[in-house]
């Protein structure tokens, strides 16, 4: 069985994390993996999460299975977080708890692949490297639409629109709802409106990956595209993650949400998602979803979570501004000014893989080979050091 198994290629980003751990240099800096770190460089547990866990510990009386759809109070919470209070009772929308945003992506992809095997999948150029593996199920063909204009560090909006206008009802378009990974470049609300009009005209199926809601501007602004789509198109799906905005990465919490044309259709999709999950992992994990549910359904904890999340978001924005300013000052030009305009954890810096290697070898600074930097992994006290190193490698 195992004798002729080929050794798999190491995951690009996780491979860098392994290299980082093995690096003995005391001044090393990890800006590769997509995890938020505080001013001390630690990925701490939110106070609201700790409080919810304490309550859960005393309240929980059983560890029996929760059910195929997971915790329905959690699914309701996610419906409200993602689609807003205005959709709290909308029976066209149904959600199924899943293991992380990744598990949610997979559930929805399986639903599409099994029901419409001839669909064509469309990803942005570039996209999160794991998208193909998670979403490219069965016969679904994999295609790419233009997204990033590296010359201007902006969205190639004309290219994107031209590609989307060619699509039809057999096409499934994976859209980063906010905080595009890896580029950090996002559509404006006016541009989203145009994309949504194209979705209405062509009938393509919008499949929103919402992994960073609240990490860009705030929970509502970051959900603009998702909520506008829900109000405008007959059918769509959203893979939502709680890894980042609740900081519960390892608990594996997400929700696969569908918006259907009728309540009956939504119910059938809800049941199908559960059946698919049954065949993949049988039952979703409970702990993290219970934590999210406790926070969301307690008015005080919910407010505290809003405050904790917005402190994180504001800090990321400040880190972005400081780094852009320091680079501007050290280089004497605005090549990296765009860092302050980007949103979310990441920015594609435009550094070449050679420059990324120089940063690692000469300065112990780790980024992804394509030049993606995790701004949310940066410490205030080390911005100047990072700016010096970047200035040194770009010359």
Ligand X SMILES: Cc1ncc(COP(=O)(O)O)c(C=O)c1O
Using CB atoms, what's the residue nearest to ligand X? 100
Catalytic residue numbers read 128, 209, 211, 244
Within 2-31, the residues that bind ligand X by CB under 6 A are: none
Closer residue to ligand X (CB): 51 or 251:
251
Phi, psi of 255 (to 5 degrees): -145, 130
Question: DSSP state, 374?
Answer: E
Closer residue to ligand X (CB): 135 or 356:
135
Distance between CA atoms of 139 and 31, rounded to whole angstroms? 36
CB of 381 to ligand X, least distance (A): 26
Q: Write the interaction track for ligand X spanning residues 42-81; mark x where CB under 6 A is met and - where it is not.
A: ----------------------------------------
Q: Candidates 94-102, 113-121, 260-268, 282-290: pick the segment binding ligand X (CB under 6 A).
A: 94-102
Q: Candidates 190-198, 223-231, 241-249, 275-283: pick the segment binding ligand X (CB under 6 A).
A: 241-249
Which residues have CB under 8 Å from 240's CB, separation 6+?
Answer: 78, 81, 82, 95, 101, 104, 210, 211, 213, 254, 255, 257
Instruction: Give the residue, chosen from 34, 70, 177, 206, that forms a contact with ligand X under the rule CB under 6 A.
Output: 34
Instruction: Give the residue, chosen from 181, 313, 349, 374, that forms a contact with ligand X under the rule CB under 6 A.
Output: 181
Residues recorded for the chain:
395
| Residue 330 burial (10 A CB sphere; 0-12, 13-18, 19+) | middle
Beta strands (DSSP E) in the chain are 29-30, 93-98, 120-125, 141-146, 148-149, 154-155, 171-176, 205-210, 236-241, 254-259, 346-348, 365-366, 372-374
Phi, psi of 368 (to 5 degrees): -80, 150
| Residue 395 burial (10 A CB sphere; 0-12, 13-18, 19+) | exposed
HSE, side-chain direction, 13 A CA sphere, residue 47: 12
Closer residue to ligand X (CB): 13 or 364:
13
Taking the alpha carbons of 299, 305, 306, 308 in that order, is the dihedral positive or negative?
positive
Within 247-276, the residues that bind ligand X by CB under 6 A are: 249, 254
Please report whether residue 102 would count as binding ligand X according to CB under 6 A: yes
Instruction: Give the residue, chosen from 48, 225, 241, 322, that forms a contact with ligand X under the rule CB under 6 A.
Output: 241
Q: Write the interaction track for ligand X spanning residues 117-136; mark x where CB under 6 A is met and - where it is not.
A: -----------x--------
Q: Candidates 100-108, 197-205, 215-223, 226-234: pick the segment binding ligand X (CB under 6 A).
A: 100-108
Radius of gyration of the chain (CA): 21
Please report whether residue 101 would count as binding ligand X according to CB under 6 A: yes
Please report whether residue 349 would count as binding ligand X according to CB under 6 A: no
Please report whether residue 100 would count as binding ligand X according to CB under 6 A: yes
Q: Candidates 96-104, 154-162, 193-201, 352-360: pick the segment binding ligand X (CB under 6 A).
A: 96-104
Q: Write the interaction track for ligand X spanning residues 279-318; mark x where CB under 6 A is met and - where it is not.
A: ----------------------------------------
CB of 292 to ligand X, least distance (A): 12
DSSP character string of 227-264:
HHHHHH-S-EEEEEE-TTTS--GGG--EEEEEE-SSHH
CB of 86 to ligand X, least distance (A): 25
Q: Which residues form the interface with ligand X (CB under 6 A)?
A: 34, 100-102, 128, 176, 181, 209, 211, 241, 243, 249, 254
């Amino acid at each position: 069985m195992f004798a002729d198994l080929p050794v798999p290629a190491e995951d690009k980003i996780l491979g860098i994390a392994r290299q980082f751990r093995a690096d003995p240099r005391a001044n090393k800096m990890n800006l590769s993996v997509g995890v938020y770190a505080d001013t001390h460089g630690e990925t701490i547990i939110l106070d609201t999460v700790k409080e919810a866990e304490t309550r859960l510990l005393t309240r929980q009386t059983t560890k029996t299975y929760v059910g195929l759809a997971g915790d329905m109070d959690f699914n309701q919470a996610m419906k409200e977080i993602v689609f807003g209070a205005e959709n709290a009772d909308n029976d066209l929308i149904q959600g199924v708890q899943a293991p992380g945003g990744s598990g949610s992506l997979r559930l929805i992809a399986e639903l599409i692949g099994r029901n419409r095997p001839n669909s064509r999948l469309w990803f942005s150029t570039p996209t999160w490297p794991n998208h193909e593996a998670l979403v490219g199920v069965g016969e679904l063909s994999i295609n790419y639409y233009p997204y990033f204009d590296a010359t201007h560090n902006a969205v190639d909006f004309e290219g994107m629109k031209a590609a989307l206008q060619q699509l039809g009802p057999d096409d499934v378009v994976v859209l980063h709802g906010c905080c595009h990974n890896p580029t950090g470049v996002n559509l404006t609300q006016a541009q989203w409106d145009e994309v949504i009009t194209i979705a209405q005209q062509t009938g393509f199926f919008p499949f929103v990956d919402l992994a960073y809601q609240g990490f860009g501007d705030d929970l509502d602004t970051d959900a603009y595209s998702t909520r506008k789509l829900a109000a405008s198109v007959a059918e769509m799906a959203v893979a939502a993650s709680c890894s980042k905005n609740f900081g519960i990465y390892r608990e594996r919490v997400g929700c696969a949400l569908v918006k259907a044309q009728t309540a009956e259709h939504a119910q059938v999709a809800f049941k199908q998602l559960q059946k698919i999950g049954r065949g993949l992992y049988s039952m979703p994990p409970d702990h993290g979803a219970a934590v999210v549910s406790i926070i969301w359904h307690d008015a005080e904890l919910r407010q505290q979570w809003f405050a904790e999340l917005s402190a994180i978001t504001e800090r990321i924005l400040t880190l972005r501004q400081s780094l852009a300013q320091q680079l501007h000052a050290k280089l004497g030009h605005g090549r990296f000014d765009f860092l302050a305009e980007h949103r979310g954890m990441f920015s594609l810096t435009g550094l070449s893989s050679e420059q990324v290697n120089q940063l690692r070898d000469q300065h112990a600074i780790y980024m992804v080979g394509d030049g993606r930097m995790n701004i949310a992994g940066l410490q205030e006290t080390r911005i100047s050091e990072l700016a010096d190193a970047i200035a040194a490698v770009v010359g």
